């Protein structure tokens, strides 16, 4: 019986652990736990280099042929515009959170602050699909492009050519590219960003060449691609929408910028500019490029694998293929760097929080890079790129990415309606204690500590917060303190219900295809009701507890994040084949087991759990 009780108690604690939330400026906690911060060395230009470099990968060089032929016809630029708007909605959510929580970790970090440890773990774990596996998928694209310089894949030198060993196609060239990117990333954030910016500039020059030379050729030949009998929308509006879901892949990458938030000199100003400029530049380039290519050659004549070089070949400009291939190889390298970089930062953030071994959070003193984590990620990605069939894994990348994007939109909703505890940057343990005017004791190592305004604002009715160490009640600290810390008009429970109703309605889009239309309809109706419910609940207007947050604020809450979360789940569904979903589920299940047996019991929040006592007499009793 006793054992049963103990077991039941542990289970309960395990579930409570899933709801533990980090404090907003938790880098202070990290300092307190002896973790070193990354050096702040990045400015706007660097962020644009990382953003554009990661976003404009080889996707645009390859995707446009198939999408124009099978989904959009000449309306390809419209598909890029729609996908760009969808990406912008997500980017806006990312930007608010990156300004409010400027530590490393991106979607993982935001989910930990806004939703809870369980979801954060799954998002952090799921992000390996986007970044580590994404890097391998990207790297596999290199040998077909390099082959052009050698006159075909058959002529590649033995050490670069693909071989079949024991029935597995190994790709040394892809592994080599991953190793090059890893070495560059280990040299230092400023150095690797410079390399990425140079590589990206070459890629952008190649795209500009395509635009200028292609535009000239198309103009000279009367824009034959647009003189078609079957009109501008041969596959109808559905084709364009389907195409926009496919080309959404070419916008993935702006999120890498937010993963570097801790290394940015002035995050509140530079992150919004970095993300905004990267996304706008990418969208403009994609739209102009696609407008020219579908005008140069009728969409049905575009080549599926090499649409751009083949379009030039039609007019006898064979040599353009060399420029296009150079651009594609540079795009692959930059995109690869942009995938490996955030992965090492996310693992570092998870290790700092105790959810992964501290190996991943060790920062090299000279280069200021988590070198061990970077090498581990590079090694894993190189092995996958070398010997795995990445075509099968590609779907997982999109699902992993969209899971993260959706969680970020939900996090914005949560942060507005159930704001987590915000700690002023100066409120690290010692300072909070001294600022409390003698009421408190030092938080670290003490059994009790009082933290007084202005560092933690608890509203007028509660002038301070007493924290008592108690490992069993980790989840309650933020929940309780939030009651007085925002200007909401509804009760906490009501807000929780609003967010849950909304979330579950959004997830209706995950259900199987036959019933999807009906369920999406029902989901959509509940979604509208949930959103309407949220509209009537007062929200934290993002003024924060210290006045204006000073950073970018997502407009039109709850509509904008709600719309993205709904659309994100829908896009997710579009990407997922059954095989992909089985693989993703197995991966997430593995992650859940790891959390159960490692993360849950090593979490720093378990160690640093405090029970809030909000009775003022307890606080001020002599």
- At 450, give phi and psi (nearest 5°): -110, 125
**Cα maximum dimension of the chain:** 90
| Closer CB to ligand ARG, 252 or 288, in the complex | 252
We find the least distance from the C-beta atom of residue 309 to ligand ARG, in angstroms, to be: 17
List CB contacts of 415: < 8 A, sequence separation 6 or more: 96, 97, 100, 110, 113, 114, 540
Part of the chain binding ligand ARG (CB under 6 A), chosen from 25-33, 131-139, 224-232, 263-271: 131-139
84 binds ligand ARG (CB under 6 A): no
For residue 466, give the 3-state DSSP assignment.
strand
616 burial type by CB count under 10 A (0-12 exposed, 13-18 middle, 19+ buried)? middle
Could you say whether residue 388 binds ligand ARG (CB under 6 A)? no
- Between residues 261 and 429, which has the closer beta carbon with respect to ligand ARG? 261
Instruction: Kindly identify the residues of this chain, within the stretch 390-449, that bind ligand ARG according to CB under 6 A.
Output: 397, 401
Nearer to ligand ARG, 60 or 177 (CB): 60
Segment interacting with ligand ARG, rule: CB under 6 A, options 159-167, 246-254, 366-374, 500-508:
246-254
* Cβ contact 572:436 at 8 Å: no
Record the tokens describing residue 124, joined without a space.
């952090």
Question: Among 103-111, 126-134, 270-278, 428-436, which window interacts with ligand ARG (CB under 6 A)?
Answer: 126-134
**Long-range CB contacts (within 8 A, 24+) of 540-546:** 540/415, 540/416, 540/417, 540/419, 540/486, 540/487, 540/488, 541/487, 542/96, 542/100, 542/416, 543/487, 544/100, 544/422, 545/422, 545/456, 545/457, 545/485, 546/422, 546/424, 546/454, 546/457
The yes or no reply on residue 361 touching ligand ARG (CB under 6 A) is no
Neighbours of 7 (CB within 10 A): 10
Q: How far is the CB of 73 from ligand ARG (least distance, A)?
A: 21
Task: Give the span between the Cα atoms of 265 and 257, in whole angstroms.
Answer: 13
Residue 534 makes contact with ligand ARG by CB under 6 A: no
* HSE value, Cβ hemisphere, 13 Å, CA-based, for 152: 2
Taking CB under 6 A as the criterion, which residues in 315-344 touch ligand ARG? 335, 339
Q: Which of 96, 117, 130, 422 touches ligand ARG (CB under 6 A)?
A: 130
* Sheet bearing 448-452, strands edge to edge: 448-452, 464-469, 610-613
Helix, strand or coil for residue 42? strand
196 makes contact with ligand ARG (CB under 6 A) = no
Q: Are 174 and 142 in contact (CB under 8 A)?
A: yes
Q: Which of 59, 65, 419, 523 binds ligand ARG (CB under 6 A)?
A: 59
Output the six-digit token pair for 170: 């190994």
**Using CA of residue 214, residue 220, residue 226, residue 228, what is the dihedral sign?**
negative
Cβ closest to ligand ARG, residue 54 vs residue 433 = 54
In which element (H, E) is residue 278 found? Answer: helix 267-296
- Give me the least distance between CB of 400 and ligand ARG, in Å please: 8
Cα separation, 464 vs 466, in Å, equals 7
Q: Smallest distance from the beta carbon of 131 to ligand ARG, in angstroms? A: 5
Scanning 55-63, 65-73, 211-219, 362-370 for contacts with ligand ARG by CB under 6 A, the matching segment is: 55-63
Helix (H, G, I), strand (E, B) or coil at 452: strand
Verify binding: residue 199, ligand ARG, rule CB under 6 A: no
Q: How far is the CB of 338 from ligand ARG (least distance, A)?
A: 6
Which listed residue (249, 502, 566, 573) binds ligand ARG by CB under 6 A?
249
132 to 161: interface string for ligand ARG, x by CB under 6 A:
--x---x-----------------------
Among 26, 250, 290, 488, binds ligand ARG (CB under 6 A): 250
What's the rounded Cα separation, in Å, for the pair 210 and 441?
66
Exposed e or buried b per residue across 337-369, where buried means at least 16 C-beta atoms within 10 angstroms of its C-beta? bbbbbbbbbbbbbbbbbbbbeeebbebeeebbb
Q: Element (H or E) spanning 468, and its range? A: strand 464-469
Q: Which two tokens stand for residue 435?
A: 């600022």
Q: Write out the two tokens for 17.
A: 């652990």
Q: Is the CB of 54 or the CB of 367 nearer to ligand ARG?
A: 54
Helix (H, G, I), strand (E, B) or coil at 318: coil
Closest to ligand ARG by CB, 340 vs 356, is 340
Residue 206 contacts ligand ARG per CB under 6 A:
no
Between residues 125 and 527, which has the closer beta carbon with respect to ligand ARG? 125
Question: Judged by CB, which is closer to ligand ARG: 177, or 462?
Answer: 177
Does residue 207 belong to the site contacting ligand ARG (CB under 6 A)?
A: no
Q: Which residue among 23, 26, 30, 55 contacts ligand ARG (CB under 6 A)?
A: 55
Give which of 300, 306, 330 is closest to 318, Cα–Cα.
Answer: 306
Count of residues in contact with ligand ARG, rule CB under 6 A:
18
CB of 46 to ligand ARG, least distance (A): 18
Stretch that binds ligand ARG, among 54-62, 175-183, 320-328, 540-548 (CB under 6 A): 54-62
Binding positions for ligand ARG, 251-270, rule CB under 6 A = 252-253
The contact set with ligand ARG (CB under 6 A) reads 54-55, 57-60, 130-131, 134, 138, 249-250, 252-253, 335, 339, 397, 401
């Amino acid at each position: 019986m006793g054992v049963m009780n103990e077991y039941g108690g542990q289970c309960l604690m395990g579930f409570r652990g899933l709801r533990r939330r980090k404090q907003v400026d938790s880098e202070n906690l990290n300092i307190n736990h002896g973790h070193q911060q990354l050096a702040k060395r990045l400015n706007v230009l660097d962020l644009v280099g990382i953003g554009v470099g990661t976003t404009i990968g080889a996707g645009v060089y390859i995707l446009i042929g198939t999408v124009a032929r099978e989904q959009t016809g000449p309306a390809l630029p419209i598909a890029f515009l729609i996908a760009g708007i969808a990406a912008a909605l997500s980017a806006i959510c990312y930007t608010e959170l990156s300004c409010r929580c400027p530590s490393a970790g991106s979607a993982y970090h935001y989910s930990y602050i806004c939703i809870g440890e369980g979801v954060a773990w799954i998002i952090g774990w799921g992000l390996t699909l986007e970044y580590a596996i994404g890097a391998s998928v990207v790297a596999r694209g290199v040998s077909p492009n390099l082959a052009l310089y050698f006159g075909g894949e058959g002529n590649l030198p033995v050490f670069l050519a693909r071989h079949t060993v024991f029935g597995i196609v190994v790709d040394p060239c892809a592994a080599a590219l991953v190793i090059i990117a890893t070495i560059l990333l280990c040299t230092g954030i400023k150095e690797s960003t410079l390399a990425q910016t140079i590589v990206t500039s070459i890629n952008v020059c190649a795209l500009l060449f395509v635009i200028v030379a292609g535009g000239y050729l198309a103009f000279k030949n009367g824009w034959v691609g647009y003189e078609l009998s079957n009109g501008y929308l041969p596959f109808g509006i559905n084709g364009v929408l389907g195409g926009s879901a496919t080309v959404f892949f070419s916008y993935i990458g702006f999120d890498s910028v937010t993963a570097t938030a801790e290394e940015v000199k002035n995050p509140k100003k530079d992150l919004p500019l970095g993300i905004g400029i990267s996304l706008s530049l990418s969208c403009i380039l994609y739209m102009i490029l696609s407008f020219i290519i579908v005008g140069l050659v009728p969409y049905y004549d575009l080549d599926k694998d090499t649409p751009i070089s083949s379009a030039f070949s039609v007019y006898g400009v064979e040599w353009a293929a060399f420029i296009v291939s150079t651009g594609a190889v540079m795009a692959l390298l930059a995109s690869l760097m942009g995938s490996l970089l955030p992965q090492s930062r996310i693992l570092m953030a998870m290790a700092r929080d105790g959810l992964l071994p501290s190996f991943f959070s060790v920062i090299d003193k000279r280069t200021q890079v988590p070198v061990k984590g970077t090498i581990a990620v590079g090694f894993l990605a190189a092995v996958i790129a070398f010997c795995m069939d990445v075509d099968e894994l590609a779907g997982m990348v999109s699902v992993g990415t969209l899971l993260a994007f959706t969680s970020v939109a939900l996090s914005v909703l949560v942060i507005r309606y159930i704001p987590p505890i915000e700690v002023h940057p100066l409120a690290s343990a010692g300072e909070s204690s001294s600022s409390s005017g003698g009421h408190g004791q030092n938080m670290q190592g003490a059994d009790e500590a009082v933290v007084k305004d202005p560092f933690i604002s608890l509203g007028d009715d509660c002038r301070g917060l007493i924290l008592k160490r108690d490992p069993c009640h980790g989840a309650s600290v933020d929940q309780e303190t939030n009651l007085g810390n925002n200007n909401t008009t509804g009760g906490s429970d009501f807000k929780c219900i609003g967010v849950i109703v909304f979330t579950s309605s959004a997830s209706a889009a995950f259900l199987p295809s036959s019933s999807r239309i009906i369920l999406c309809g029902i989901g959509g109706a509940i979604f509208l009701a949930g959103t309407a419910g949220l509209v009537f609940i007062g929200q934290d207007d993002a003024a924060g507890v210290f006045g204006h947050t000073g950073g970018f604020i997502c407009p039109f809450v709850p509509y904008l994040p709600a719309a993205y979360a709904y659309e994100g789940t829908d896009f997710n569904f579009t990407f997922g084949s059954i095989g992909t979903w089985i693989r993703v589920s197995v991966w997430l299940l593995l992650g859940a087991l790891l959390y159960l047996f490692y993360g849950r019991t090593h979490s720093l929040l378990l160690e640093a759990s405090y029970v809030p006592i909000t009775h003022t007499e307890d606080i001020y009793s002599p």
